[in-house]
Chains A and B, each alone.
Chain A
Amino acid sequence: MSYSVKVLDHYENPRNVGSFGKEEEGVATGMVGAPACGDVMKLQIKVGKGGVIEDAKFKTYGCGSAIASSSLVTEWVKGKTVEQALGIKNTQIAEELALPPVKIHCSILAEDAIKAAVADYKKKHADQVVG
């Protein structure tokens, strides 16, 4: 398997690895995938006032492309509102990282992780989210 330069860069130097305290204000978590399938992604977002994602962290069990996809989305969601973050599509991730067809599922999982994290945020802040 040969990897693109960008995948290798994210794999060697993953951005924003780690976890926030679960009780921290504005933190929401999305966990997707399953160990038996070979990929589990945990994406956490820290949402500030006005629904803007101030910080993001990830941990991923998976191949190099899965690690790179989740590392990339932590960079991309920062500074976006939760609604803007939902606009990130797996095709953009796959294109940015030049993922081969057999690794497209990694980008889909990264998109799902964003959706799961945002859903968790909305569930926790149901009373604050307006329209």
Chain B
Amino acid sequence: MLKLPIYLDYSATTPVDPRVAEKMIPYLVEKFGNPASRSHAFGWDAEAAVEEARLEVATLVNADPKEIVWTSGATESNNLALKGAAQFYAGKGKHLVTVKTEHKAVLDTCRELERLGFEVSYLDVMDNGLLDLAAFKAALRPDTSVVSVMLVNNEIGVIQPIAEIGEICRARGIVFHVDAAQATGKVVIDLATMKVDLMSFSAHKTYGPKGIGALYVRRKPRVRLAAQMHGGGHERGFRSGTLATHQIVGMGEAFRLARLEMGAENERIRMLRDRLLKGLSDIEHVYVNGDLEQRVPHNLNISFAYVEGESLLMAVKDLAVSSGSACTSASLEPSYVLRALGREDELAHSSIRFTLGRFTTEEEIDYASRLLHDKIARLRELSPLWEMVQEGVDLSTVQWAAH
């Protein structure tokens, strides 16, 4: 039977796969050793488990296990990568380049670097959400030391041209960081061919536990970082702190499953996403946000014109989805990502992000599609804007009474 509410927010987080949870549990109870303990079997067992997991994370992205540094998650990885590289290479230059649609973990870290005396360029995207490579090249300067561009956008699911950006950066000796939190298990990542120097990973977006992530740090050519967490010199000095063995084991198993299953899984999810899109496309005035081709199959971000965002979320409370607006405050604040696409505020307000995943079913998609048909029709019946549009009024010509 269909269980409500239906979870369609896999880009916020994913459930831990039961196979992952099962593999983690022994490392909490019997196999509790500290992987840094070198003098007894408890430590050796834990260390072996950590290294096995490191190999799995590296294998998913075709890297060397020695290039993987454990962190608490993608936010910490982004902080370590950007602050660490900016500080280490400050002698080369103090200019960074990133994109307006990056995750807050990158944007806010860049703001902090600005406070510390660095200069950051925040690039616009095209109206399909993708970075314009010509504009990107034009933004690079002789003193540009670090570039950060995400692989898959968390709100609209578009895939940035990372391989091309990597070539441009490498040719100029610029350190290139990629936030891949939303990408693992969704797109093929080959770090042997992609010229990426630093890449951030998260476990909990890929059916692993929360609180664990990793940073890929390239060895050839070698990339250096100024450590941000000091202590016992764990992780070759990149990140001190006792390793969370059970979390690491979980991330390793989650990434192993992603490697084995992503081919078939992505096809199934693409079929479901297309089914949802088809189901919704006969509603008038719906707009897909972000490029539909250069996009992971898991994401559908749609604006429903002439329906207000908060009432839309109230109407679809049987669906666990994210909205394009942060509507708990009095002044509605549309998503900065949708704004960067040039969407007018009204469409940004009335957008819903559907993100599908491993446990999404056809029955759930059909339910969601029917529900949205009913509710959009009802809210439009209530909407004076919809009525005016039906009467042929061009809303942009209306003189609205400001309030």
Question: Does the CB pair B311–A31 fall under 8 Å?
Answer: no
Question: Which residues of A have CB within 8 Å of B345?
Answer: 35-36
| Distance in angstroms between the alpha carbons of A101 and B384 in the assembled complex | 25
A64 nearest CB neighbor, chain B only: B314
Please judge, given known A-B contacts A11-B314, A42-B384, A67-B311, whether A33 and B403 are in contact too, CB under 8 Å: yes
Known A-B contacts A35-B346, A59-B387; the reply to A105 vs B403 at CB < 8 A is: yes
In the complex, which residues 282-328 of chain B have their Cβ closer than 8 Å to any Cβ of chain A?
A: 306-311, 314, 327-328
- Asked if residues B384 and A40 are in contact (CB atoms below 8 Å), the reply is yes
With contact pairs A61-B306, A63-B308, A64-B314 given, residues A35 and B403 touching in the complex (Cβ less than 8 Å):
no
Kindly report which residue of chain A lies nearest to residue B314, judged by CB atoms: A64
B314–A34 CB distance below 8 A: no
A111 to B125, CA, bound (A): 42
> Within the complex, what minimum Cβ distance (angstroms) separates B271 from chain A?
34
Residues on A with C-beta less than 8 A from B346 are 35-36
Known pairs A38-B332, A103-B330; A61 contacts B385 (CB<8 A):
yes
B324-342: CB near A (< 8 Å → 1, else 0) gives: 0001111010000000000
State the Cβ distance, B50 to closest chain A Cβ, in Å: 43
Answer whether residue A73 sits at the interface, using C-beta atoms and an 8 A cutoff.
no
Closest B-chain residue to A70, C-beta based?
A: B382
- Over the window 29-72 of chain A, the binary record of Cβ atoms lying under 8 Å from chain B Cβ atoms (1 yes, 0 no) is 00111111111111000000000000000011111101100000
Residues of A near B395 (CB, < 8 A) are 35
B308 touches A33 (CB 8 A): no
Complex CA gap A109/B400 in Å reads 13
Which residues from A are CB-within-8-Å of B381? 17
Tell whether B383 is near chain A: CB-to-CB under 8 Å.
yes
Q: How far is the CB of A64 from chain B (nearest CB, A)?
A: 5
B311 touches A64 (CB 8 A): yes
| CA–CA, A17 and B386, complex, Å | 13
Whole-angstrom distance between the alpha carbons of A3 and B328 in the complex? 12
B383 touches A59 (CB 8 A): yes
Residues of A within 8 A of B308 (CB): 38-39, 61-63, 66
Binary CB contact string for chain A from 73 to 93 against chain B (1 if under 8 A, 0 otherwise):
000000000000000000000
Residue in chain A with minimal CB distance to B346:
A35
State how many angstroms separate the Cβ of B345 from the closest Cβ of chain A: 5
Q: Is the CB of B401 within 8 A of A32?
A: yes
Which of A3, A19, A37 meets B403, CB within 8 Å?
Answer: A37
For residue A32, which residues in chain B have a CB less than 8 angstroms away from its CB? 401, 403
Q: Which partner residue on chain B sits nearest A71 by CB separation?
A: B382
List of A residues within 8 angstroms of B403 by Cβ: 32-34, 37, 39, 105, 108-109, 112
Which residues of chain B are within 8 angstroms of A11 by Cβ–Cβ distance?
311, 314
Most chain A CB inside 10 Å of its own CB: which residue of B311, B345, B383, B384: B384
A14 within 8 A of B: yes
- Interface: A102 (CB within 8 A): yes
11 A-B pairs within 8 Å (CB atoms) are namely A33-B400, A33-B401, A35-B395, A38-B308, A40-B385, A41-B384, A60-B382, A61-B384, A102-B330, A103-B330, A116-B401
B: residues with CB less than 8 A from A are 306-311, 314, 327-330, 332, 344-346, 349, 381-387, 395, 400-403
10 shortest interchain CB distances as A-B pairs: A34-B400, A63-B310, A42-B384, A59-B384, A102-B330, A61-B383, A38-B332, A35-B346, A61-B385, A64-B314
Known: A59-B387, A61-B306. 14 other contacts (CB 8 A): A1-B328, A11-B314, A32-B403, A33-B400, A35-B345, A38-B309, A39-B308, A39-B403, A40-B385, A60-B384, A62-B310, A62-B311, A102-B330, A112-B403
